[in-house]
Amino acid sequence: MRATASFPAHVALLRLLPVAVGSSVEVVEVLLKTQDLAYLDRPRMACGKHTVYNYSGMLWSHYGPYRRQLRELWVTELLSARQLRLTERVRVEEVRAMLRDLHPATSTSTTAVVLKERLLMVTLNVISRMVLGKKYVGEDGARPSAATTSEEFRWMIEEIFFLNGALHVGDMVTWLGWLDAHGYVGRMKRLAAKFDRLIEHVLREHGERRRREGDAFVPGDMVDLLLYLCLIITYFAVTIVLTPPVVRALSPLEDCNLCSVASHGHVPSIV
């Protein structure tokens, strides 16, 4: 990188890779400040294609209306101040459980305690309880699921972190994308199948709980909240937007998203 940046030209285009290198303060300022919107997209890498439903996630999606709506959903609903306050109990309980486990281990033994493993378990348990509604890893309170076991769930999390950082040859040289020399693409596809099975099971569980509780249903985790928002959007589209007076009123607004809903008969879903 140092040798590349020492070229006399302000911008260098690598010959075999779709990469441009800015080697002056002026060029970097243009790329990161003046024209930052043109460079917000992450490279189209294999992991985003095979494990996140063809770049549909927040991390890999193309910058545009879809990504802005996703970001708004995360900021205003899933990770809003109110939602974080409601889930504060989960974080407190998991930290207290870790401290209870640490106390006897440190008070009766002089053996060093490896905190890395315990902090990893706390993090995974907090994430799984906030997102999915229950723990999928850990010894205390972990219940095997019909879709996965505690060991498999932990392996899936570790595997997706590894594959997000793995260097696939097709990510660097696009015309060699068919060459899976290290087997990373195969691992990504197998991991995606496992996540599909788990997500289907979680959605089925949450749907059954919502139908069982009826009007008394209160969203308890992120999956519940997403399903609740989908229900609201569907109700809004069917009862308000798709009524004839609204369709006629919106017909002149060609650039309006609601006009697209009225004319095509569907709501572009982001959840």
Give the pLDDT score at 240: 60
* pLDDT tier for residue 247 given thresholds of 50, 70 and 90: very low
Of the listed ranges 27-31, 188-192, 242-246, the least confidently predicted one is 242-246
Q: pLDDT tens-digit profile of 104-144?
A: 766 666 777 788 888 888 888 898 899 988 887 655 444 54
* Arithmetic mean of pLDDT, 32-40: 78
Specify burial of residue 14 (Cβ count, 10 A radius: 0-12, 13-18, 19+): exposed
- Which of the 8 DSSP states describes residue 133? S
192 or 150: whose pLDDT is higher? Answer: 192
Residue 267 has pLDDT above 80, yes or no: no
pLDDT at residue 103 in the model: 77
Q: Is 0.75 surpassed by the pTM of this model?
A: no
d(CA 193, CA 88): 32
Q: Provide mean pLDDT across the span 230-258.
A: 57
Q: 252 is written with which tokens?
A: 């002149």
Per residue in 137-170, pLDDT (tens digit) is 655 444 545 567 878 888 998 999 999 888 888 8
pLDDT higher than threshold 80 for residue 8: no
Write down the pLDDT at residue 192.
93
Residue scoring higher pLDDT (230 or 159): 159
For 138: left if phi > 0, alpha if psi spans -120 to 50, otherwise beta; the answer is left
In this prediction, residue 194 has a pLDDT band, given cuts at 50, 70 and 90, of very high
Task: Give, in order, the Cα–Cα distances in Å from 38 to each of 31, 64, 115, 211.
Answer: 8, 11, 42, 45
